[in-house]
Amino acid sequence: MLWEFLPLFGWFLGLLLGLLILTLALVYGIAWACEVPFLYYNFGHHKYLKGLEQSGFHPSQKYIRFGYGAAVDGNARKLFVATGSTRKLYDIADIQNVEGEFQKDQYHIESTLRITVRDLSTPLFEIKSYLSDGKLRSIYSLLAVLREEKPVPTTET
């Protein structure tokens, strides 16, 4: 008796799996389509970072999406931030404040990293993430550690 419904159950599971895969593909397709207007800025940020890497800036953490960008080189104690067409490189000592908002709910789907620097032209950078906040969290954590770290005084004899 039970064996008669087994092929029907297999078709049902296959249909559910197919719908799940189609839904995931649709979600990622929409997310990629939303990023298309920012591809010009993203390519510019990547190109600028490649130039910095050739001059000795090697970021351990970086995030470039939706026209926003941030990269931190912990060894050189440097920070690269970009919003739109503005791209700047700062020393960790130039950072005045770092704030992160990573709580997501049904009304706020984005995560935000706010970096305030000592610069008169652009003192505040807001870097937003709409899909996953893992990279922004790691940048936030690294910046918090680097800002609290005091340089070790060298003793010359």
Pairing of strands 86-91, 68-73: unpaired
For residue 1, what is the DSSP state?
Answer: -
Range of the structural domain that residue 77 is part of: 38-148
Residue 80 to residue 72: CA distance in whole angstroms: 6
pTM for this prediction: 0.71
- Residue 83 belongs to domain with CATH number: 2.30.29.210
Residue 50 to residue 97: CA distance in whole angstroms: 27
Q: Which of the pair, 51 or 10, is modelled with greater confidence? A: 51
Number of domains into which the chain is organized? 1
Q: Which of the pair, 34 or 144, is modelled with greater confidence? A: 144
* Structure confidence by residue, pLDDT tens digits, 20-34: 999 989 988 887 787
Nearest Cα to Cα of residue 39 among 49, 51, 47, 28: 47
Asked whether residue 55 is domain-assigned, the answer is yes
Percent of the chain with pLDDT over 70: 90
Residue 102 to residue 109: CA distance in whole angstroms: 9
